[in-house]
């Protein structure tokens, strides 16, 4: 992580504290319409219960801020170190991920108490935290909580989709997307710099900033829309193995995929946070696996961009419209940048150990907290994942 707060004066810490309050409050805002039961269920191993997200993000502050601060801190409940550790082997053993939904105790109410307890302790210890040089760690905790805020939405959407009643997470459907003309941006060949370098926050996996050579290429001004994708379906895209990666074709066959996740069988409606709604032709297609995004791009006579192309285009043109509506699959396998060093200490397990069997997505989605993503931000998921808000943007050789 970059040291945005190192050596900073009191004003910066005040801003950080306000941000701490705002981010923590936002998590609670997200669950206002959910019942204790909604927050309990784990609908598949990839999904975590809302309650678990709420507790884990508090555990993060407890473990990596309060626990490393000189100020004495007494944990809310000693068992939570085990229950709400996600995957940090260096701080101890943990409850098995696929069994998070078994934890009916502590209750949601107790987890909310836990949050208040941690928040109060953070407030009391604030000066000591700053003094101990843990301001950046607090920022990491907030970035971490923002990532879980997106997961709260993706995961509860999956949970609700498993109920035949298909209940809506919230009301107030926004207006349909405005039509936008599809075009191509051209970028010339050359050495570029990608990755983060600067005073603000960035994850270790976005660094170090480094050189890459790019051949000339073109990239679409818009993400692929529902209408575009419907044409792929209607043209038999799900029935032609020559369009698909071998692993994707095998998975499509095994799972019987005929359309994106959450679409109705007649391809007219889609289930989302606002319940079942008619498909908006102009809106970006969403809930695609990498395999579907890749097959679509091949059918369209194009390809997915690499993450270096994506970042370069976004940096140099600022003309990639509608970015931030859906995460955009890139053709780049998630790996270490040249010279990558995991963050020091236990948080070094945050990103590096997942650099295998995943692809990078760029941009951000409607579920991403405002201000969270960056042009250098690297999201990553396995190619089979569909429950994220994932779509695509086309690229092609110049």
- Encoding tokens for residue 15? 């801003």
Distance CA(376)–CA(391), nearest Å, equals 18
Distance CA(231)–CA(227), nearest Å, equals 6
Question: Looking up tokens 């003094």, which residue turns up?
Answer: 131
- Encoding tokens for residue 18? 């306000």
Residue 159 in contact with its own copies, rule: CB under 8 A: yes
Distance CA(339)–CA(211), nearest Å, equals 11
Select from 2-10, 136-144, 157-165, 312-320 the region that touches its own copies (CB under 8 A).
157-165
Select from 60-68, 126-134, 164-172, 266-274 the region that touches its own copies (CB under 8 A).
164-172
Distance CA(331)–CA(153), nearest Å, equals 25
Nearer to its own copies by Cβ, of 162 and 173: the residue is 162
Using the rule CB under 8 A, which residue among 4, 8, 81, 83 binds its own copies?
83
Residues 6+ apart with CB under 8 A from 112: 28, 54
Using the rule CB under 8 A, which residue among 248, 284, 363, 391 binds its own copies?
248
C-alpha distances (whole Å) from 2 to each of 20, 208, 367 are 18, 10, 25
Using the rule CB under 8 A, which residue among 11, 165, 266, 370 binds its own copies?
165
The candidate with the shortest Cα–Cα distance to 379, out of 342, 338, 324, is 324
Residue 339 in contact with its own copies, rule: CB under 8 A: yes
- Encoding tokens for residue 298? 């091949």
Residue 356 in contact with its own copies, rule: CB under 8 A: yes
What binding mask, one character per residue, do residues 44-63 give for its own copies by CB under 8 A, x or -? -------x------------
Q: Beta-strand (E) ranges in the chain?
A: 184-187, 190-194, 210-214, 217-220, 269-272, 275-278, 327-333, 359-362, 379-381, 390-391, 395-397
Distance CA(343)–CA(276), nearest Å, equals 42
Using the rule CB under 8 A, which residue among 28, 33, 70, 162 binds its own copies?
162
Question: Looking up tokens 């204790």, which residue turns up?
Answer: 36
Residue 236 in contact with its own copies, rule: CB under 8 A: no
Least distance CB 303 / its own copies (angstroms)? 8
Contact 159, 41 (CB under 8 A): yes
Residue 357 in contact with its own copies, rule: CB under 8 A: yes
- Encoding tokens for residue 127? 């000066």
Select from 34-42, 59-67, 199-207, 219-227 the region that touches its own copies (CB under 8 A).
34-42
Can you spell out the DSSP letters for 303-328? BPPPHHHHHHHHHHH---TTTTSSEE
- Encoding tokens for residue 77? 């409940």
Using the rule CB under 8 A, which residue among 72, 171, 175, 242 binds its own copies?
242
Distance CA(178)–CA(180), nearest Å, equals 6
Residues 88-117 that bind its own copies (CB under 8 A): 89-90, 95, 99, 101-105, 107-108
Using the rule CB under 8 A, which residue among 164, 174, 301, 370 binds its own copies?
164
Phi/psi at 384 (nearest 5 deg)? -85, -10
What binding mask, one character per residue, do residues 181-200 give for its own copies by CB under 8 A, x or -? ----------x---------
Residues 307-326 that bind its own copies (CB under 8 A): none
Least distance CB 242 / its own copies (angstroms)? 6
Nearer to its own copies by Cβ, of 29 and 105: the residue is 105
Using the rule CB under 8 A, which residue among 3, 6, 25, 87 binds its own copies?
87
**How many residues contact its own copies, by CB under 8 A?**
65
Using the rule CB under 8 A, which residue among 18, 123, 127, 215 binds its own copies?
215
| Strands 390-391 vs 327-333: parallel, antiparallel or unpaired | parallel
| Interaction site with its own copies (CB under 8 A) | 35-41, 43, 51, 79, 82-83, 87, 89-90, 95, 99, 101-105, 107-108, 159-160, 162-165, 167, 191, 210-215, 241-242, 244-249, 290-291, 294, 303, 331-333, 335-336, 338-339, 349, 353-357, 383, 397
């Amino acid at each position: 992580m970059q040291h945005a707060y190192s050596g900073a004066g009191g004003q910066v810490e005040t801003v950080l504290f306000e941000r701490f309050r705002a981010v923590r409050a936002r998590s609670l805002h997200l669950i206002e319409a959910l019942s204790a039961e909604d927050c309990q269920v784990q609908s598949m191993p990839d999904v975590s219960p809302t309650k678990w997200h709420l507790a884990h993000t508090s555990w993060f502050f407890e473990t990596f801020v309060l626990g490393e601060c000189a100020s004495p801190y007494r944990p809310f409940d000693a068992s939570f170190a085990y229950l709400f550790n996600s995957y940090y082997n260096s701080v101890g053993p943990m409850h098995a991920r696929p069994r998070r939904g078994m934890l009916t105790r502590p209750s949601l109410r107790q987890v909310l108490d836990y949050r208040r307890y941690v928040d109060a302790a953070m407030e009391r210890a604030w000066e000591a935290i700053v003094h101990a040089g843990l301001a950046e760690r607090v920022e990491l905790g907030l970035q971490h909580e923002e990532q879980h805020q997106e997961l709260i939405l993706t995961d509860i959407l999956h949970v609700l989709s498993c109920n035949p009643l298909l209940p809506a997470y919230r009301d107030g459907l926004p207006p349909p997307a405005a039509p936008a003309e599809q075009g191509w941006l051209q970028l010339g060949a050359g050495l570029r710099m990608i990755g983060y370098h600067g005073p603000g926050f960035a994850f270790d996996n976005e660094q170090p900033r480094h050189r890459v050579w790019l051949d000339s290429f073109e990239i679409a001004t818009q993400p692929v829309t529902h209408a575009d994708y419907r044409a792929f379906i209607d043209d038999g895209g799900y029935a032609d193995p020559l369009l698909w990666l071998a692993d994707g074709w095998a998975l499509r066959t095994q799972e019987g995929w005929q359309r994106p996740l959450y679409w109705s069988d007649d391809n007219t409606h889609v289930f989302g946070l606002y319940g079942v709604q008619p498909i908006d032709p102009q809106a970006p297609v969403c809930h695609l696996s990498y395999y579907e995004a890749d097959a679509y791009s091949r059918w369209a006579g194009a390809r997915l961009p690499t993450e270096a192309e994506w970042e370069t285009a976004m940096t140099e043109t600022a003309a990639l419209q509608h970015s931030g509506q859906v995460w955009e699959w890139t053709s780049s396998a998630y790996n270490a940048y040249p010279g990558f060093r995991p963050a020091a200490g236990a948080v070094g397990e945050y990103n590096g150990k997942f650099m295998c069997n995943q692809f990078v997505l760029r941009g951000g989605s409607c579920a991403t907290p405002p201000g969270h993503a960056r042009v250098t931000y690297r999201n990553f998921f396995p190619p089979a994942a569909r429950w994220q808000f994932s779509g695509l943007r086309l690229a092609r050789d110049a």
